[in-house]
A and B are shown apart, each in its own frame.
Chain A
């Protein structure tokens, strides 16, 4: 499993590889939580690519309902159909607009990503319960639609809200952590092969130290990638306090954090990172 994902340039540790493997084998939805920027959404994309499946993505937001998530009727077309003197059933598959959930259900072999579920409200979560346990939906005008080969479902949450236990019970659970330094180096090397290895190592050492500081917003792998790219563009292949200061905005996204690192630790951290690699 790990190799298959690595082929899609997504590197996992043994734990995540095992859990993804189990989710695929047991046909259970996988609930992934973790700090922002650890690659939760990327995981679903990589799983889809690795298994050769199509990715269907549902981005959640407050107030999302059945008509946005599951299906809708194409009223304008129905109206035209009537006006044009058409006959036949108005509520048939012909006029059905498929939204992501229905699409994932009807098309065999898809990976369904339900992204940032914590942004949706309780009502939608309750609706998902039925969907996730039976992989079938009822459309009153048409009937029950079910799938012989249910999609692989990945749900992500940033924990801005606690998800219900009933939903958690239907899923396998995994918490994605920030990677350790070696893995992060490997990730950056995989994703940005054009960057010099020495710089990547320094960057990852720097970021690892940074994560130990009590920052307001701890940088994730996504930020590490951006910052490494920025350093490469601005600097000359070496992590110096000067270049770091100019590009810090790519790594730290809260004013307090930038100021704090700038004031106290920059020189020292940069030197430490260089030493760690040398």
Chain B
């Protein structure tokens, strides 16, 4: 006679393996917990098994759609190898559409669907990964626009069109220098945690009294503590559409080198939709993630919808406090095909949450002599610092700015930037 736990074990192992194959981390200890859980519920009822499995194997709501796909197949007794394909189909459908729902509830499920991790995190499962990499040749409008940060740093910049994934030797040098500069800039914020100090700092009553207990309650040594600092979050929102991609890629690669050291950065890239790169930033798959982000843009090369992208950022991430207290840096030329009013509104919201909103525009006057792109004009009133240009001077300006913005009192521009004032400053 087998115990109930033993009876369900093979099935539980199969489910967990199916989930792992689909990219949901489910450990062996989770399997054990599920076995125990199934001993407590009615294993003939789908609902009971579903909730037991969901409570034990699912760790974040973003993985829900994957979990439901895998669970559905598993419950029907079908082969779980098909899961990758099924999930990929879902991922390609509009994420705002209501997805498969559990228990027949009529909830506005799309809020979760929009967050599903394998789309936003760029951590696609194998089936999702595009096998043929999109060529960027048709997205590069021409020689004249391939200047940017890179050109500024290395005069003899020549890159073949076919090179996409790796960084060239000269590019790598630029990346290193930028990374060093950023590392130096590491902005900080005051932490609420205090640390024992020597002779300076605030009186630490607890440690003073504690020390005095050894000397019959006479405080012979005064203990002090000083405040500590932690890295302040940098939130990068980088335009990767068309020729902006080159500028952004150098910046991102630089970030890759410094994240974790003293820099805490969240990174998003966008063209027509938002992709979160942070989870990928530390891994070697940055190039792959960038390519995936770009593959979503091909029909839009040359134009972006910054307003919509910012709205998505605010709704999905801003509400959870990602931008709160962060130094937000938008890297874009402001060449926007969307609604400028939406852009203003969402940027204002983002600015209110951020400690400081910096806009880095590497291609300020690139648009056939027009003074400023429409999107840029709409954005200006809500920007604390506008940095234009693609020379070392501009990048140095950004680094200096970021460095000065860390601890201390938050400062905000009293008079909004306008198109004329920024024109004059350039």
Instruction: Please give the residue numbers on chain A whose beta carbons come within 8 Å of chain B beta carbons, in ascending order.
Output: 13-15, 18-19, 21-23, 25-26, 28, 33, 61-63, 65, 67, 73, 75-76, 78-79, 82-83, 90, 121, 123, 158-162, 165, 168-169, 172-175, 177-178, 180, 211-212, 214, 216-218, 256
Contacts and interface: CB of A to CB of B under 8 A. Distances in A.
B104 to A, nearest CB: 10
Top 8 A-B pairs, shortest CB-CB distance? A63-B192, A160-B321, A18-B51, A75-B209, A82-B217, A168-B59, A175-B61, A172-B55
Given A79-B212, A90-B213, 20 more contacts: A15-B54, A18-B52, A22-B52, A26-B33, A67-B206, A75-B209, A78-B213, A79-B209, A79-B217, A82-B213, A168-B59, A169-B29, A169-B59, A173-B54, A173-B55, A173-B58, A175-B64, A178-B107, A211-B108, A216-B314
B41 A123 contact: no
A214 B315 contact: yes
Max chain B C-beta neighbours (<10 A), residue from A25, A67, A172 = A172
B160 interface: no
B51 A173 contact: no
Contacts of B210: 73, 75
Nearest to B40: A25
B48 A33 contact: no
Contacts of B311: 214
B274 to A, nearest CB: 15
Contacts of A159: 320
A163 B399 CA distance: 30
Contacts of B315: 214, 216
A133 B294 CA distance: 43
B102 interface: yes
B68 interface: no
Contact of A13 (B37, B103, B320, B321): B103
Given A82-B217, A216-B319, A15 B51 contact: yes
Contacts of A214: 311, 315
A15 B61 contact: no
Contacts of B192: 61-63
A177 B61 CA distance: 10
B121 to A, nearest CB: 11
Interface string B202-222: 000110011011001100000
Contacts of B59: 165, 168-169, 173
Contact of A18 (B48, B61, B319): B48
B409 interface: no
14 contacts: A13-B103, A15-B54, A21-B41, A26-B33, A61-B192, A63-B192, A79-B213, A160-B321, A162-B60, A169-B29, A172-B55, A173-B55, A173-B56, A214-B315
Contacts of B102: 15
B105 to A, nearest CB: 6
A29 B216 CA distance: 44
Nearest to B25: A165
Nearest to A61: B192
Nearest to A22: B37
B421 interface: no
B47 interface: yes
A65 B56 CA distance: 29
B203 to A, nearest CB: 13
B27 A160 contact: no
B320 A18 contact: no
B47 A26 contact: no
B36 interface: yes
A15, A83, A90 pick with most chain B CB within 10 angstroms? A15
A96 B131 CA distance: 63
Contacts of A15: 47, 50-51, 54, 102-103
B391 interface: no
Contact of A180 (B37, B105, B112, B345): B105
A40 to B, nearest CB: 13
Interface string B66-108: 0000000000000000000000000000000000001101111
A63 B193 contact: yes
Contact of B321 (A79, A83, A161): A161
B349 A256 contact: yes
A18 to B, nearest CB: 4
A123 B193 contact: yes
B67 to A, nearest CB: 11
A262 B151 CA distance: 51
B397 interface: no
A73 B206 CA distance: 9
A50 to B, nearest CB: 18
B139 interface: no
Given A13-B103, A26-B33, A63-B193, A174 B209 contact: no
Contacts of A160: 320-322, 324
A256 B321 CA distance: 18
Contacts of B298: none
A168 to B, nearest CB: 4
Contacts of A174: 54-55
Interface in B21-47: 25, 27, 29-30, 33, 36-37, 40-41, 47
A18 B107 contact: no
A174 B193 CA distance: 31
Contact of A65 (B41, B48, B193, B322): B193
A196 to B, nearest CB: 25
A25 B41 CA distance: 10
Nearest to A27: B36
A33 B106 contact: no
Nearest to B30: A169
Nearest to A79: B217
A118 to B, nearest CB: 8
B154 interface: no
Q: Which residue among A65, A159, A218 has the maximum number of chain B CB atoms within 10 Å of its CB?
A: A159
A18 B41 contact: yes
A33 B37 contact: no
Interface in B182-240: 191-193, 205-206, 209-210, 212-213, 216-217
